[in-house]
Structures are given as structure tokens and as C-alpha cells.
A = this chain, B = another copy of it.
Amino acid sequence: MEKKEFSEGALPSVTVDVVIFTIKDDDLKVLLIKRSIEPFKDLWALPGGFIKDSESLEKAAERKLMDETGVKDIYLEQLYTFGSPERDPRARIVTVAYFALIKPRDIGHKKKWDVSDVQWASAYKLPKLAFDHSKIVEYALKRLRWKLEYTTVGFQLLPEKFTLTQVQDIYETILGKKFDKRNFRKKILELGLVKPSREILKDVAHRPARLYTLSKKIGDIIEII
């Protein structure tokens, strides 16, 4: 804090933008919204908006998430704050980016969507995005990959019941590399985070896989900076 009270010029606006990832069709997806106004009208952008007077940044991000997906209680973490003076042509806007992981089951609960305005785009084939949102998604991807290797956030992308092969598929999709099946399963089981349920997958034209569930709240375990 300085001696001078408050700003030295026009006040910047503060927004939050949320990079919402999910897994769908064996692909990593990002939620995008089509802009209906200038600037960047008709381009795709991340869901986001201004923070309210008496709302924390995290609450603002949760609100945006709820607005766009209709789900709450999902994994959300602050990503990075982007504040270059040129990032918005209208005015100085500082945006606090968050990244969220949602379970496939939670997709599409919100039915009011006008589908032409909202899409789950492949994180690997993104269209041109408004503002510096491409940079934000790129950064989120880096963070996601990193977290996947060194923490257990990955489980946030799984449905309630899942097979070990599904877990492996998610890792392979996001990290873009293959793992040995035996070693992978060994490691996942050693973590002690999943336990076998009594159910098995049905209606598949091969030996059905056992379904697993998470054995604890894994919130604590994720916690790494």
C-alpha cells in the first residue's frame, strides 16, 4: 500500500474467467461461449464476467460456473491473473482466471442453453478466441497436465463409478502419452483413493470391467500449491 490514496488514474475493471474442462467422447473439452456483442462479436470466449461488489473472486467464479453449467461443488482453483493493459480494447480490465474440472455426468444439466451459443470445444482444436483467452486456455492446459502428473485432481473428471481403464484413458488423453496397463493400475490402486464396488460394467461385447468408486473425499489429498 502506498501513501497515495487509491488509484493513479482510471480504475481498472476486474473480471473472472473460468476455464471449464471436462472429458467427453474420449477427448478433453473446454466450455466456450459465443460473444453476442462487440468487441470480438461472434467469436468464442471463456465464460466470465465482472465481480460483484460484495463477492469474493472465488464466489464470482463459482457463480459463473453455476450460470453456465448449472452445477456446483466442483473442483475449482485460481489459475493466474492476466492484466496486460492491451488485453481489452475498450478499457483496462484485469481478469482473474480460474480453472474447473467437471464430471461428465454433470454436463448438460443446464437445459436452457441455446446450443448455438455454447459449445464444448476440443482443447486440442480450439477456434480463434476473443481477447487473450487462447493464452489463458493454454496456461490452464499446462496447469492441468502438471496437476495430473503430481496430484490426484484427475479423479475430479471421473463419473461416480468408473473403471480403471477409464482412469487410464483420461490420463492418456490429457497427457498425450500411453501408459503400461499393469504399471498404471498398480499405481492407481497403491494410492488408496479408489475402491472396487460390487458392480461391473454391463452390455459390453467383451469381459466386463469392475467399477470403482472414490474411497475418500480427495479434496485434502489434492492440496499442493
Contacts and interface: CB of A to CB of B under 8 A. Distances in A.
B53 A83 contact: no
Interface stretch (A10-18, A161-169, A190-198, A206-214): A10-18
Given A56-B84, A57-B83, A48 B14 contact: no
A19 B105 CA distance: 42
Contacts of A146: 224-225
17 contacts: A1-B49, A4-B49, A6-B13, A6-B50, A8-B53, A10-B53, A11-B11, A11-B12, A12-B51, A14-B14, A14-B83, A57-B83, A78-B81, A81-B81, A81-B96, A94-B96, A143-B225
A219 interface: no
Interface residues of A, number: 47
Interface in A46-63: 48-57
Interface of A: 1-4, 6-15, 17, 35-37, 45, 48-57, 78, 80-85, 91-92, 94, 96, 130-131, 142-143, 146, 224-225
A13 B3 contact: no
Contact of A37 (B3, B51, B78, B96): B3
Contacts of A14: 11-12, 14, 83, 94
Contacts of A11: 11-14
Contacts of A130: 1
A78 B79 CA distance: 10
A85 B53 contact: yes
A35 B3 CA distance: 8
A133 to B, nearest CB: 9
A57 B81 contact: yes
A157 to B, nearest CB: 18
Q: Lowest 8 CB-CB distances: which A-B pairs, in order?
A: A2-B49, A57-B83, A9-B53, A11-B11, A81-B81, A146-B225, A54-B85, A56-B84
Nearest to A40: B1
